[in-house]
Amino acid sequence: AQTVTQSQPEMSVQEAETVTLSCTYDTSESDYYLFWYKQPPSRQMILVIRQEAYKQQNATENRFSVNFQKAAKSFSLKISDSQLGDAAMYFCAYRSPTQGGSEKLVFGKGMKLTVNP
C-alpha cells in the first residue's frame, strides 16, 4: 500500500518570503500522480498543484512549484512570495494510475502553514 509522509506538522514564513514544504511517499508503482492540496479555515480542499510521475519536468503554477525527485520519492512544494492568503493546512497526496475511471487519493497528515505579516 502506498503511504505519504509529511514530517513537519507546522511551519511559519514571513510575508513575501519563500517556504518549502516537504513530502515523501512510498510506492512500488512506476506511474502515478502527486498532488498538493490546500485547506484554509473554510475547510474547502483546493488543488494547488499536480505532478505526473512520468514527467521529468517539475510542475509550476504561478508562485507554486514542486521539486519532484522520483528516485528519492520526494515531492516538495515551494511557495514563493508568500502571501497572507497562503496560510492554511497543506496536504500532500498520492494517486495510483487511473484504471477504469476509479481513483482514490492517499493523503499525508498535513502541515499547518502560518504566514506572518
Binding site for another protein (CB under 8 A): 33, 35, 37, 42-47, 50, 52, 91, 98, 101-110
Considering the complex, state which of residue 41 and residue 117 has its C-beta at the smaller distance from another protein: 41
50, 109 Cβ separation under 8 angstroms: no
CB of 45 to another protein, least distance (A): 4
C-alpha cell at 107: 493523503
For CA atoms 63, 68, 72, 73, give the dihedral sign: positive
Considering the complex, state which of residue 37 and residue 82 has its C-beta at the smaller distance from another protein: 37
CB of 90 to another protein, least distance (A): 11
Best CA proximity match to 98, nearest among 42, 47, 33, 43: 33
